């Protein structure tokens, strides 16, 4: 037992100083990924360098390049230049590829959305589109979002050309068509606001059941995770709704994660809350067997869809506009590291290494351990130690407790050790 503890102490620092995808894989996930903005990758070298680092992001998804309007704007004419940007980048970097999206009411060419269709003619259009686009990326995609956002926030079926033509039969039709083209990729339903476990989540569960009852294949459900700072559900609540879906025999993943501030500039307290919200989302995935990965919808505030969609809101990602790692990055890395290290029992006096940042991270928030906060304040959970060598007090923002922690548990004045979760407490 002492030998195992000693080995754990030697190995732990390398684990907790790792980058996000490395940590995620060691924690049991398949990947930690990001969306790629096609218009930035070839014009912004700093952006490209971080995105291309497989240790940080193990999977890429095109932000827009594989959508219907990008691949078949004119009926029967297929173009892949935009979609290939992500596919080629992932291949060159040895990263995985997540593919997005097939049947969606938005970013749909007018010739589809405004057409006059019978079931037979629209089915032919869907099958032709899938055969060409999915066929072009055959063998490259871990998963395809086959149907996107088919449910409204109040729990009704979303009105669109597909529902008008087929009713709910288009669910099974689309999944069957996708399976025929690529039998080896994972086939997903993908939607937002499922995280709140309300009427929308219940309707999405019905969609999964409809597809399965029809004998059609469905492998996963994507929780987009477009959330709001301070309104994100708790880790346990998020895990509860994930489990409702895995109970139906599908895997789940967070596929488009960002957590936006409702107003800017964000205060220090709001940034701390955002970090805690990110940690809760990622932690909930770690807590659920069948949750396979997390993808952030771009990684830097410089290239986020949020400001152009939600007036006055923003700063929703884990790197700032200057590519400095934010509080949110450290919060995610902390929860992944806790899982990755397996809460090792270490010999007295051994301290796990502080999470490191990249050379690009030059702000004070980026180069010091950043806060993971909770309104709950209590003494951190720490193991009993017989060490006789005193440990210095922890500095502001530093870790001061958590299961398996053997470093300082008292903070330098005037800071107090604040409980975040069983794995992490911090001097705040």
Counts of helices then strands in the chain (DSSP H, E) = 15, 12
Catalytic-role residue among 38, 63, 195, 256: 256
Candidates 244, 336, 326; CA nearest to 290 is: 244
Quote the CA–CA distance of 247 and 319 in Å, as a whole number.
Answer: 34
CB 59 within 8 A of CB 145: no
CB 90 within 8 A of CB 61: no
Catalytic-role residue among 149, 195, 251, 393: 149
Q: In 247-376, which residue ranges form alpha helices assigned H by DSSP? A: 268-286, 306-309, 327-340, 364-367
Helix, strand, coil proportions of the chain in percent (round to 5)?
Answer: 40, 20, 45
The edge-to-edge listing of strands for the beta sheet with 424-427 is 399-401, 424-427, 417-421
β-pair partners for 295? 33
CB 52 within 8 A of CB 40: no
Candidates 353, 352, 355; CA nearest to 405 is: 352
Distance of CA 196 to the CA centre of its chain: 16
Candidates 33, 19, 425; CA nearest to 225 is: 33
CB neighbour list of residue 148: distance below 8 Å, 6 or more residues apart: 100, 101, 102, 103, 104, 106, 189, 190, 191
**Residue 256: active-site member:** yes
Candidates 155, 218, 162; CA nearest to 190 is: 218
Question: Which tokens belong to 66?
Answer: 């594989």
Question: Which tokens belong to 336?
Answer: 């992944």
Quote the CA–CA distance of 283 and 289 in Å, as a whole number.
Answer: 12
Three-state DSSP state, 193 = coil
CB 284 within 8 A of CB 338: no
Rg (CA), the chain: 23
Quote the CA–CA distance of 15 and 340 in Å, as a whole number.
Answer: 7
Question: Which tokens belong to 62?
Answer: 């095109």
Quote the CA–CA distance of 139 and 146 in Å, as a whole number.
Answer: 16
Q: Known catalytic residues?
A: 149, 256
């Amino acid at each position: 037992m002492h030998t195992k503890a000693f080995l754990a102490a030697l190995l732990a620092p390398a684990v907790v100083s790792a980058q996000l995808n490395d940590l995620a894989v060691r924690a049991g996930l398949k990947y930690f990924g990001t969306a790629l903005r096609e218009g930035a990758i070839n014009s912004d070298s700093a952006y490209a360098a971080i995105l291309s680092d497989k240790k940080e992001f193990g999977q890429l998804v095109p932000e827009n390049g594989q959508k219907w309007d990008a691949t078949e704007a004119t009926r029967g004419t297929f173009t892949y230049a935009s979609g290939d940007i992500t596919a080629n980048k992932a291949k060159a970097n040895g990263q995985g590829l997540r593919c997005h999206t097939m049947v969606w009411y938005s970013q749909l060419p007018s010739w589809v959305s405004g057409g006059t269709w019978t079931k037979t003619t629209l089915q032919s259009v869907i099958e032709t589109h899938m055969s060409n686009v999915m066929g072009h990326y055959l063998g490259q995609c871990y998963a395809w979002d086959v149907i996107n956002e088919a449910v409204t926030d109040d729990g009704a079926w979303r009105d669109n050309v597909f529902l008008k033509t087929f009713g709910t039969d288009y669910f099974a039709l689309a999944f069957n068509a996708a399976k025929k083209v690529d039998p080896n990729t994972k086939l997903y339903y993908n939607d937002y606001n499922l995280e709140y476990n309300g009427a929308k989540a219940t309707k999405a569960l019905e969609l999964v059941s409809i597809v399965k009852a029809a004998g059609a294949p469905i492998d996963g459900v994507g929780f987009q995770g477009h959330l709001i700072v301070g309104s994100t559900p708790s880790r346990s609540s998020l895990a509860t709704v994930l489990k409702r879906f895995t109970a139906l025999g599908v895997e789940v993943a967070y596929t488009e994660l960002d957590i936006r501030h409702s107003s800017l500039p964000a205060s220090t307290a709001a940034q701390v809350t955002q970090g805690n919200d990110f940690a809760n989302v990622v932690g909930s995935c770690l807590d659920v067997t069948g949750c396979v990965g997390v993808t952030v919808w771009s990684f830097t505030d410089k290239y986020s869809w949020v400001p152009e969609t939600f007036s006055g809101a923003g700063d929703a990602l884990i790197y700032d506009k200057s590519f400095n790692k934010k509080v949110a990055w450290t919060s995610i890395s902390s929860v992944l590291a806790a899982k990755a290290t397996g809460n090792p029992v270490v010999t007295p006096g051994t301290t796990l290494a502080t999470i490191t940042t990249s050379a690009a991270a030059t702000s004070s928030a980026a180069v010091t351990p950043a806060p993971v906060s909770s309104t709950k304040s209590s003494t951190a959970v720490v193991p009993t130690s017989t060490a006789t060598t005193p440990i210095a007090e922890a500095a502001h923002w530093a870790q001061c407790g958590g299961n398996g922690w053997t470093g300082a548990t008292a903070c330098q004045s005037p800071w107090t050790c604040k409980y975040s979760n069983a794995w992490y407490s911090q001097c705040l």
